[in-house]
Amino acid sequence: MFVFSKLVWIFGQPLSLAFFGALLALIAGLLRWRMLSALGAAGSVVILFVTLYTTSGNYLLQGLEERFPKPDSAPEDVKCMIVLGGAFENEVNTVRHGIEFADGADRFVEALRLAQKYPLSRILVSGGDGSLSGTYEGDAAASRRFFSLFGVGKERLVEETQSRSTYENALNTKKFLAQQALSNCLLITSAFHMPRSVGLFRKLGIDIVPWPTDYRTTGNVTLGLDFTQPSLNAQNLGTALREWYGLVGYYLAGRTSSLFPV
């Protein structure tokens, strides 16, 4: 299932689909199948235009981010928090042994803030090597170096180093929570990733309090044209579609109880 999901994303992301449309147009043109060639070319152009020059990605991402709003006020007490991996540049860190962050860095910045606010809380970091090669260290390993720089003792950390996907995050975290006698933890992950994460954790009967972070949109996005930031538009559409692929896939596989958890 893990490898299959990786392959689905490799071939199903917008720019890949645009490439395959252009390839189809080229092959069909060489074979003089004019109608098929025209359809492939048109499809490729439409996908590229929507991906690069519209707010579709931001709009879809915003819908995911708004599903579980962050609470207006911090809780009185926090005994534990679960931080999902996906924030470190694991390939770079494996070689350089540093703490280089990727786009999801806010997950650990927020966890650090809460760790300092609630000095008795435990921090469970769930994240192994999510690559196909399986040769890199995961977020859990890198987080040990990160938290130690700010005086958060290793005795407060619970490292789950085996998970490669969000489903494995939830499955393995359940075992660790039972071993450590922890419950009702804050679940810290990117806001757009929260619906899929909550659906998985709830399906497994894990009591969590959603605590979203790493927002990518303003909350006021409307559908329209945007010629100012094509690369960012493409990135956000890819991120949103990947989440929806995951939501649909996990729901069809019976790993969540609803398509769009609430």
Q: State pLDDT tens for residues 59-70.
A: 999 999 999 999
Buried b (16+ CB within 10 A) or exposed e, 130-140: beeeeebbbbb
Q: What tokens appear for 2 in the block?
A: 């893990």
Residue 1 has pLDDT above 80, yes or no: no
Q: What is the pLDDT of residue 149?
A: 95
Strand partners, 159: 125
Cα separation, 121 vs 5, in Å, equals: 34
Q: What is the mean pLDDT of residues 39-61?
A: 98
Summary mean pLDDT of the chain: 95
pLDDT in tens, 2-11: 888 889 999 9
Q: What is the pLDDT of residue 130?
A: 81
Residue 210 has pLDDT above 90, yes or no: yes
Q: What is the pLDDT of residue 237?
A: 98
How many other β-carbons are positioned within 10 Å of the β-carbon of residue 82?
Answer: 29
Q: Which residues contact 48 (CB under 8 A, 6 or more apart)?
A: 15, 18
Nearest 5 degrees, angle CA 187-CA 189-CA 193? Answer: 115
What phi-psi label fits residue 181: left (phi over 0), alpha (psi between -120 and 50 degrees) or beta? Answer: left
Q: What is the pLDDT of residue 131?
A: 84
Q: What is the mean pLDDT of residues 40-50?
A: 98
Q: Are 242 and 104 within 8 A, CB to CB?
A: no
Q: What is the pLDDT of residue 73?
A: 86
Q: Which residues contact 240 (CB under 8 A, 6 or more apart)?
A: 57, 60, 61, 64, 192
Nearest to 113 by CA among 152, 84, 159: 152
pLDDT in tens, 103-144: 999 999 999 999 999 999 999 999 998 888 778 999 999 999
Note the helical H segments in the chain.
2-12, 14-30, 34-53, 56-65, 90-96, 106-117, 139-149, 166-180, 194-203, 230-252
Whose tokens are 């990605």? That residue is 57
Q: What is the mean pLDDT of residues 211-235?
A: 97
Q: What is the pLDDT of residue 72?
A: 86
Residue 203 has pLDDT above 90, yes or no: yes
Q: What is the pLDDT of residue 135?
A: 86
Q: How does residue 168 score in pLDDT terms, banded at 50, 70 and 90?
A: very high
How many other β-carbons are positioned within 10 Å of the β-carbon of residue 122?
Answer: 19
Strand partners, 162: none
Q: What is the pLDDT of residue 11?
A: 96
pLDDT in tens, 224-244: 999 999 999 999 999 999 999
* DSSP-derived secondary structure letter, 110: H
Cα separation, 126 vs 191, in Å, equals: 17
